[in-house]
Amino acid sequence: MRRRNKEINIFSMSALDLFASAMGVFILIAVVALPYYLKTDQSLMQQSRELQQENEELRSSLESLNEQLLACRNNVKNQKTSLANLQKELAQTKNQQEKCEEQQKQVFIAVVMQWPEAMVDIDLHVFSPNGDEYFFNRHNRTGSDYPGSSARLSRDTTRGPGVEVWEIPVALPGVYKIYYDYYAQNGGQQRANITGMVYTNKGSHPLPDISLLPRQNELVANIKITQDGGVTVE
Protein backbone atom coordinates (compact mmCIF):
# COMPACT_ATOMS: atom_id res chain seq x y z
CA MET A 1 0.00 0.00 0.00
CA ARG A 2 1.01 3.52 -0.69
CA ARG A 3 1.28 5.94 2.17
CA ARG A 4 -0.79 9.17 2.27
CA ASN A 5 0.94 12.48 1.81
CA LYS A 6 0.94 13.95 5.33
CA GLU A 7 2.15 17.38 4.28
CA ILE A 8 -0.94 17.99 2.27
CA ASN A 9 -3.15 16.95 5.18
CA ILE A 10 -1.26 19.16 7.56
CA PHE A 11 -1.65 22.15 5.18
CA SER A 12 -5.37 21.48 4.83
CA MET A 13 -5.94 21.35 8.59
CA SER A 14 -3.97 24.53 9.11
CA ALA A 15 -6.12 26.46 6.57
CA LEU A 16 -9.31 25.20 8.18
CA ASP A 17 -8.09 26.17 11.58
CA LEU A 18 -7.21 29.60 10.24
CA PHE A 19 -10.64 30.11 8.77
CA ALA A 20 -12.31 28.78 11.84
CA SER A 21 -10.26 31.06 14.03
CA ALA A 22 -11.02 34.07 11.80
CA MET A 23 -14.72 33.26 11.90
CA GLY A 24 -14.57 32.89 15.63
CA VAL A 25 -12.86 36.24 15.97
CA PHE A 26 -15.44 37.88 13.70
CA ILE A 27 -18.29 36.36 15.67
CA LEU A 28 -16.66 37.43 18.91
CA ILE A 29 -16.18 40.99 17.66
CA ALA A 30 -19.75 41.06 16.34
CA VAL A 31 -21.10 39.80 19.66
CA VAL A 32 -19.06 42.41 21.54
CA ALA A 33 -19.96 45.30 19.18
CA LEU A 34 -23.66 44.42 18.77
CA PRO A 35 -24.87 46.32 21.87
CA TYR A 36 -23.08 49.45 20.68
CA TYR A 37 -24.70 49.20 17.26
CA LEU A 38 -28.08 48.70 18.87
CA LYS A 39 -27.41 51.59 21.20
CA THR A 40 -26.38 53.77 18.30
CA ASP A 41 -29.52 52.84 16.36
CA GLN A 42 -31.74 53.60 19.35
CA SER A 43 -29.95 56.93 19.87
CA LEU A 44 -30.43 57.84 16.22
CA MET A 45 -34.09 56.91 16.41
CA GLN A 46 -34.51 59.00 19.56
CA GLN A 47 -32.77 61.92 17.89
CA SER A 48 -34.98 61.48 14.84
CA ARG A 49 -38.09 61.53 17.02
CA GLU A 50 -36.82 64.63 18.82
CA LEU A 51 -36.07 66.34 15.50
CA GLN A 52 -39.55 65.49 14.25
CA GLN A 53 -41.05 66.92 17.45
CA GLU A 54 -38.93 70.05 17.13
CA ASN A 55 -39.98 70.33 13.50
CA GLU A 56 -43.65 70.11 14.51
CA GLU A 57 -43.10 72.70 17.21
CA LEU A 58 -41.33 74.99 14.74
CA ARG A 59 -44.12 74.52 12.24
CA SER A 60 -46.70 75.33 14.91
CA SER A 61 -44.67 78.37 15.97
CA LEU A 62 -44.41 79.48 12.34
CA GLU A 63 -48.16 79.18 11.88
CA SER A 64 -48.70 81.14 15.09
CA LEU A 65 -46.25 83.81 13.91
CA ASN A 66 -48.02 84.00 10.56
CA GLU A 67 -51.35 84.45 12.34
CA GLN A 68 -49.83 87.15 14.55
CA LEU A 69 -48.30 88.85 11.50
CA LEU A 70 -51.65 88.80 9.72
CA ALA A 71 -53.33 90.17 12.84
CA CYS A 72 -50.67 92.90 13.07
CA ARG A 73 -51.19 93.79 9.41
CA ASN A 74 -54.93 93.98 9.93
CA ASN A 75 -54.37 96.03 13.06
CA VAL A 76 -52.05 98.40 11.21
CA LYS A 77 -54.57 98.65 8.37
CA ASN A 78 -57.34 99.41 10.86
CA GLN A 79 -55.13 101.92 12.63
CA LYS A 80 -54.34 103.59 9.30
CA THR A 81 -58.04 103.72 8.53
CA SER A 82 -58.76 105.10 12.00
CA LEU A 83 -55.94 107.60 11.61
CA ALA A 84 -57.29 108.69 8.23
CA ASN A 85 -60.76 109.09 9.74
CA LEU A 86 -59.32 111.03 12.67
CA GLN A 87 -57.38 113.27 10.30
CA LYS A 88 -60.53 113.83 8.27
CA GLU A 89 -62.52 114.63 11.43
CA LEU A 90 -59.70 116.90 12.60
CA ALA A 91 -59.72 118.72 9.27
CA GLN A 92 -63.51 119.11 9.49
CA THR A 93 -63.24 120.31 13.07
CA LYS A 94 -60.49 122.74 12.11
CA ASN A 95 -62.59 123.97 9.20
CA GLN A 96 -65.59 124.43 11.48
CA GLN A 97 -63.40 126.20 14.02
CA GLU A 98 -62.07 128.53 11.34
CA LYS A 99 -65.62 129.23 10.20
CA CYS A 100 -66.65 129.92 13.79
CA GLU A 101 -63.69 132.22 14.24
CA GLU A 102 -64.60 134.03 11.03
CA GLN A 103 -68.19 134.30 12.20
CA GLN A 104 -67.03 135.67 15.53
CA LYS A 105 -65.11 138.33 13.64
CA GLN A 106 -68.25 139.35 11.78
CA VAL A 107 -70.16 142.21 13.36
CA PHE A 108 -73.81 143.06 12.90
CA ILE A 109 -74.70 146.70 13.55
CA ALA A 110 -78.07 148.34 14.02
CA VAL A 111 -78.34 152.05 14.87
CA VAL A 112 -81.72 153.12 16.27
CA MET A 113 -82.60 156.82 16.62
CA GLN A 114 -85.88 158.16 18.04
CA TRP A 115 -87.50 161.41 19.15
CA PRO A 116 -90.83 162.18 20.89
CA GLU A 117 -91.71 165.53 19.30
CA ALA A 118 -94.70 165.54 16.94
CA MET A 119 -94.55 166.72 13.36
CA VAL A 120 -90.81 167.33 13.25
CA ASP A 121 -88.57 165.35 10.89
CA ILE A 122 -85.22 164.15 12.21
CA ASP A 123 -82.92 162.30 9.82
CA LEU A 124 -80.33 159.69 10.62
CA HIS A 125 -77.12 159.77 8.56
CA VAL A 126 -74.50 157.02 8.65
CA PHE A 127 -71.14 157.19 6.87
CA SER A 128 -69.41 153.87 6.18
CA PRO A 129 -65.59 153.41 6.24
CA ASN A 130 -65.47 153.61 2.43
CA GLY A 131 -67.36 156.94 2.39
CA ASP A 132 -70.90 155.77 1.51
CA GLU A 133 -73.58 157.98 3.10
CA TYR A 134 -76.86 156.35 4.10
CA PHE A 135 -79.87 158.60 4.72
CA PHE A 136 -83.48 159.06 3.53
CA ASN A 137 -82.48 159.95 -0.06
CA ARG A 138 -79.96 157.09 -0.37
CA HIS A 139 -81.37 154.42 1.90
CA ASN A 140 -80.18 151.46 -0.26
CA ARG A 141 -83.21 149.35 0.62
CA THR A 142 -83.33 148.00 -2.92
CA GLY A 143 -79.54 147.72 -3.20
CA SER A 144 -79.47 150.23 -6.06
CA ASP A 145 -77.89 153.12 -4.17
CA TYR A 146 -74.77 151.18 -3.17
CA PRO A 147 -74.62 147.94 -5.21
CA GLY A 148 -72.84 145.15 -3.40
CA SER A 149 -73.53 146.64 0.02
CA SER A 150 -76.00 145.00 2.40
CA ALA A 151 -76.24 148.09 4.58
CA ARG A 152 -79.48 150.10 4.45
CA LEU A 153 -81.62 152.65 6.17
CA SER A 154 -84.43 150.22 6.89
CA ARG A 155 -86.84 152.66 8.53
CA ASP A 156 -87.40 156.35 7.90
CA THR A 157 -89.94 158.58 9.67
CA THR A 158 -90.88 161.99 8.17
CA ARG A 159 -93.15 163.24 10.97
CA GLY A 160 -92.57 162.57 14.62
CA PRO A 161 -92.76 161.13 17.06
CA GLY A 162 -90.53 158.91 15.04
CA VAL A 163 -87.92 156.21 14.78
CA GLU A 164 -85.20 155.67 12.19
CA VAL A 165 -83.07 152.52 11.85
CA TRP A 166 -79.86 151.84 9.94
CA GLU A 167 -78.43 148.33 9.84
CA ILE A 168 -75.69 146.25 8.25
CA PRO A 169 -75.50 142.41 8.59
CA VAL A 170 -71.70 142.22 8.24
CA ALA A 171 -69.82 145.40 9.01
CA LEU A 172 -66.50 146.07 7.33
CA PRO A 173 -63.60 146.97 9.64
CA GLY A 174 -63.22 150.68 10.03
CA VAL A 175 -65.07 153.68 11.44
CA TYR A 176 -68.79 154.32 10.99
CA LYS A 177 -69.88 157.92 11.69
CA ILE A 178 -73.35 158.58 13.12
CA TYR A 179 -75.04 161.95 12.54
CA TYR A 180 -78.42 163.40 13.57
CA ASP A 181 -79.99 166.07 11.37
CA TYR A 182 -83.04 168.23 12.21
CA TYR A 183 -84.41 168.25 8.66
CA ALA A 184 -87.84 169.92 8.98
CA GLN A 185 -90.03 171.43 11.71
CA ASN A 186 -93.38 170.97 9.89
CA GLY A 187 -95.16 173.18 12.43
CA GLY A 188 -93.84 171.18 15.33
CA GLN A 189 -91.72 172.22 18.27
CA GLN A 190 -88.65 174.35 17.86
CA ARG A 191 -86.31 171.97 19.66
CA ALA A 192 -86.14 168.20 19.28
CA ASN A 193 -84.66 165.84 21.87
CA ILE A 194 -83.12 162.77 20.32
CA THR A 195 -81.97 159.49 21.86
CA GLY A 196 -80.36 156.47 20.30
CA MET A 197 -78.78 153.04 20.70
CA VAL A 198 -76.23 150.97 18.85
CA TYR A 199 -76.93 147.25 18.81
CA THR A 200 -74.35 144.66 17.74
CA ASN A 201 -73.89 140.91 18.17
CA LYS A 202 -71.22 141.86 20.73
CA GLY A 203 -73.56 143.96 22.88
CA SER A 204 -75.44 147.26 22.94
CA HIS A 205 -74.18 150.81 23.44
CA PRO A 206 -76.31 153.88 24.27
CA LEU A 207 -75.75 156.98 22.20
CA PRO A 208 -75.59 160.39 23.88
CA ASP A 209 -78.82 162.35 24.16
CA ILE A 210 -78.85 165.21 21.67
CA SER A 211 -81.03 168.39 21.49
CA LEU A 212 -81.25 170.00 18.04
CA LEU A 213 -82.80 173.08 16.46
CA PRO A 214 -84.19 173.15 12.92
CA ARG A 215 -81.56 172.69 10.17
CA GLN A 216 -78.98 171.75 12.76
CA ASN A 217 -76.96 168.53 12.52
CA GLU A 218 -74.39 166.96 14.80
CA LEU A 219 -71.90 164.11 14.87
CA VAL A 220 -73.17 161.82 17.60
CA ALA A 221 -70.72 158.89 17.68
CA ASN A 222 -68.05 156.91 15.90
CA ILE A 223 -68.42 153.15 15.76
CA LYS A 224 -65.04 151.44 15.36
CA ILE A 225 -64.87 147.86 14.05
CA THR A 226 -61.50 146.11 14.27
CA GLN A 227 -60.17 143.30 12.07
CA ASP A 228 -60.80 140.71 14.79
CA GLY A 229 -64.40 141.83 15.31
CA GLY A 230 -63.92 144.21 18.21
CA VAL A 231 -66.48 147.00 18.64
CA THR A 232 -66.07 150.38 20.33
CA VAL A 233 -68.49 153.31 20.32
CA GLU A 234 -67.05 156.75 20.97
pLDDT confidence of residue 11: 45
93: number of CA atoms within 13 Å, CB side?
Answer: 6
DSSP state of 141: S
167: number of CA atoms within 13 Å, CB side?
Answer: 13
Per-residue pLDDT of the chain (234 residues; tens, 9 = 90+): 455 555 544 445 565 565 566 666 666 666 665 565 555 556 777 777 887 888 888 888 888 888 888 888 888 888 888 888 888 888 887 887 777 767 677 899 999 999 999 999 999 999 999 999 999 999 999 999 999 999 999 999 999 999 999 999 999 999 999 999 999 999 888 899 999 999 999 899 999 999 999 999 999 999 999 998 999 999
Domain ranges of the chain: 1-105, 106-233
Residue type, 207: L
Under CATH, what is the fold of the domain 106-233?
Answer: Jelly Rolls (2.60.120)
The whole-model pTM stands at: 0.62
Residue 201 · residue 108 · CB < 8 Å: yes
pLDDT confidence of residue 189: 86
Pairwise CA distance, residues 221 & 177, whole Å: 6
pLDDT confidence of residue 204: 94
Residue 121 · residue 183 · CB < 8 Å: yes
